[in-house]
Structure 1
């Protein structure tokens, strides 16, 4: 296995990365070459000819659930539901960073606002799940606000409904169970919603090959035999394999058993191993 030297990698890329970030942040938003300004807007102004100014973004909690309210200066409100556990951890990102940034902005420019909040100040240094979960909660509430202002469904607001229904896939996490018990639970979950696609968890997660020896090698053909004709099959290793040789070996087993997708075989920050 060829390992990546993190110190060497950071040293060799820090200068070019810093230059790239500084160049991006220093661009004038009025510059016609600015990619943010060149985005094709998601929201058609034909449906919203007048500015929809965001008066406030507020957060509420009831039991273990979080709710976000976007209110315009016209008094119209949009709502969204925040991620239960991640909102609990990062609520200050919403109240101290996202809500103040969005205040007094034109909600019709939501696509640009999402990018601009990332570049504003030093917000890009906070990028990650706890930042983007809160941005997403704000974005959904703002889209609901726009839909209510335009008296349109979210689908029509964003260009029109594409279909009346979608097939569902179901994922599971039974790594602590042996292959036989995992299969029983997987079949039960597929039956519960008549899923057309299935993602199973293989490996032991985050650099652990398997918590139960050989579970992965046993589970893959069992799932293929039991559900391969009913479902499109996916597998997620969640960064289980630090050995590229092992990751490829598992990949070949998946391929032999008709799996369509193999997610994150090696740790996601192992760049050379991923390549």
Structure 2
């Protein structure tokens, strides 16, 4: 089962003005992703996804120009061997580091898709799991900086659809952030689980101001208040309240996660399988988290490939936390590019697909009709 060819395809979908959301990264003007297609000599096609890294054309070029030649002809079932080759070429030395981890992720996910298809199993079974439900929260590019009444109404719509947990975007100003959280808590009561995400936009002083008040509001976690590099700051903020700190979508490989979790400041690890190095690396991160008795709640973004694979992954973990369900207004990468990536349950949980491999179908006409827009995704 040799790899015949590897191809990365960047895709961009503009977001119309009425659907744009403001958050810590800015105002969303388009959605990007990089799909990775691997075909074997046996005729099996696997699909993976690399995060856009705010530069989808660059990530796709890295896959096509630097990584694909290294793995073409390799045994598609030898995921470990392929990872060793790519780690040595791009992560051990003289490589592109973060960009390489992102690019490698799409290749790795596609290989797992191929392996599961080859044996006729859904991915969760190949990973050692079962078709068990995973709790979900409403996330994605949504619930941003908007008038409190509009935010309360958006949460009401999501709750009517079955969600029992939502993630509010903070990182604006402490005053406005706390006012929005307070409004949602007052309107929806204590039976709603509120998560918050500052998208790295706080200073340590801001985070120390906000954290004790979030504890009063019963917030279940404070995600990425600070830069990924500010380990000392995370430790300071962790001591300011009992609200757990979450982080990891901007950390890469098991090695960075080992440093992130050491010391206990971050209690909710959040690898993104399209960024961390793929499913192979995410499995190692999950094992690390399990050793610290921590649940793992992956970040998701992009297309239905990432989302479907993430649900399979969580269904195979003994320390599965939340699945981040995309409720973005511009959801075409989930609803049009791919088939439905998971089965929704009315109790606010999701089930992995029960078809061989990752289980999603790709609309290649949609893919061809939405080529790369080589411009920033946030204004």
- What is the TM-score normalised by the length of structure 1? 0.66
1:229 equivalent in alignment to 2:195: no
Within 5 Å, which residues of 2 pair with 1:15-164? 52-60=1-9, 67-80=35-48, 86-120=55-89, 125-128=95-98, 130-163=99-132
Higher Cα radius of gyration? 1
Q: Which structure's residues are more often helix, by fraction?
A: 1
Question: CA RMSD, aligned part only?
Answer: 2.9
Measured at CA, do residues 70 and 197 of structure 1 come closer, stay the same or move farther in structure 2, by a change above 3 Å? same
Distance 1:87 1:241, change over 3 A: closer
Among 157, 177, 181, which residue is 1:188 paired with? 157
Residue 89 to residue 228, structure 1, CA distance change in 2 (3 Å) = farther
5+ unaligned residues in a row in structure 2: which ranges?
14-32, 236-379
- Residues 239 and 161 of structure 1, relative CA distance in 2, 3 Å threshold: same
**Do 1:59 and 1:66's aligned partners in 2 also have CA atoms closer than 8 Å?**
yes
Classify 1:176/1:236 alpha carbon distance in 2 versus 1 (closer, same or farther; 3 Å).
Answer: closer
CA contact (8 A) 2:70 2:85 kept: no
Change (3 A) 1:116 1:196: farther
Residues 90, 97 of structure 2: 8 Å contact kept: no
Number of aligned residues: 213
Asked if 2 retains the 8 angstrom alpha-carbon contact of 1:178 and 1:215, the reply is: no
Task: Assess, with a 3 A threshold, how the Cα gap between structure 1 residues 133 and 178 changes in structure 2: closer, same or farther.
Answer: same
Q: Tell whether 2:210 aligns with 1:250.
A: yes
Aligned to 1:179: 148
The separation in 2 between residues aligned to 1:127 and 1:112, in whole angstroms, is 19
* Partner Cα distance (1:116, 1:195) in 2: 42
Give the Å deviation of 1:103.
Answer: 1.5
Evaluate the alpha carbon distance shift between residue 103 and residue 273 of structure 1 in structure 2; reply closer, same or farther with a 3 A threshold. same
Q: Which has the higher contact order (CA 8 A, sep 6+)?
A: 2
Which of 175, 199, 220 matches 1:260?
Answer: 220
Q: 2:199 aligns with which of 211, 216, 238?
A: 238
Change (3 A) 1:87 1:177: same
Q: Which residue of 2 aligns with 1:19?
A: none
CA contact (8 A) 2:50 2:103 kept: yes
Contact 1:147 / 1:157 at 8 angstroms: preserved in 2? Answer: yes
Report the TM-score when normalising by structure 2: 0.49
Q: Equivalent residue of 1:120, what SS? A: helix
Q: Counterpart in 2 of 1:170? A: 138
Q: 8 Å contact 1:60–1:66 — kept in the other structure?
A: yes
> Residue 56 of structure 1 contacts residue 72 of structure 1 at CA under 8 Å; is this kept in 2?
yes
Question: Do the aligned residues in 2 keep the contact of 1:167 with 1:196 (CA within 8 Å)?
Answer: no
Matched with 1:218 is: 179
CA distance in 1, matches of 2:226, 2:125: 40
Query: CA offset at residue 184 of structure 1?
Result: 2.3
- How far off its partner does 1:66 sit? 5.5
Higher relative strand content? 2
